[in-house]
Amino acid sequence: MRYVCDACDTIHYQNPKIVAGCIPTLNNRLLLCQRAIEPRYGLWTLPAGFMENGESTEQAAVRETQEEACATVENLELYCVFSIPHISQVYMMFRASLASEDFKPGRESLDVRLFQEHEIPWNDLAFPVVKTTLEHYFIDARSNCFPVHVENIHRHPARQR
């Protein structure tokens, strides 16, 4: 089944979408955004969003971080590539350096804060992909070695029943 324009027969293919984002870090702390939009209003997430036409994956991650946290990031390094087949999304998450402490909530965020590892709100993270990314990050940070993680993320456990 495909969407086809009745007037010109253009086929609108439905392909997986790329969600690009990053882990902005500064002096052993990392930046999370509290969502001001549904789904998962009020929960915490890494800055990320749909890549747009004409961008590179890094540019999309930089733009989303600017939009959601009014923050500037640099030195991006690809870190996680997560396929989420049941919603046809591919997350591409980069490690990134936060340029300064000059940030504030964008229109889609209630709050933006820097967290040390022991301060991470593990029970109030918005998406499984955010939890998995952060878990990898803190483990890899101990050895200061950050291989690219390529994984599949399946349906949220609470919704598998």
The site for a copy of itself (CB under 8 A) is made up of: 3, 5-7, 10, 12-18, 50-59, 77-78, 81, 83, 85-86, 88, 90, 92, 148, 150, 152
Q: Could you tell me the smallest distance in angstroms from the CB atom of residue 55 to a copy of itself?
A: 6
Which of 16, 121 has the CB closer to a copy of itself? 16
Q: Could you tell me the smallest distance in angstroms from the CB atom of residue 102 to a copy of itself?
A: 27
What dihedral angle (degrees, nearest 10) is formed by the CA atoms of 147, 153, 156, 161? -140
Which residues on neighbouring strands pair with residue 80, listed in sequence order?
A: 93, 149
CA dist., res. 136 & res. 72, Å (int):
23
Which of 56, 116 has the CB closer to a copy of itself? 56
Which of 84, 98 has the CB closer to a copy of itself? 84
Q: Could you tell me the smallest distance in angstroms from the CB atom of residue 140 to a copy of itself?
A: 14
Contact 80, 133 (CB under 8 A): yes
Which of 91, 103 has the CB closer to a copy of itself? 91
CA dist., res. 94 & res. 63, Å (int):
13
CA dist., res. 106 & res. 56, Å (int):
22
Structure tokens at 90: 């591919």
Q: Could you tell me the smallest distance in angstroms from the CB atom of residue 18 to a copy of itself?
A: 6
CA dist., res. 64 & res. 76, Å (int):
13
Which of 44, 95 has the CB closer to a copy of itself? 95
Q: Could you tell me the smallest distance in angstroms from the CB atom of residue 143 to a copy of itself?
A: 17
Angle at 82 between CA 80 and CA 87, to 5 degrees: 150
Contact 98, 65 (CB under 8 A): no
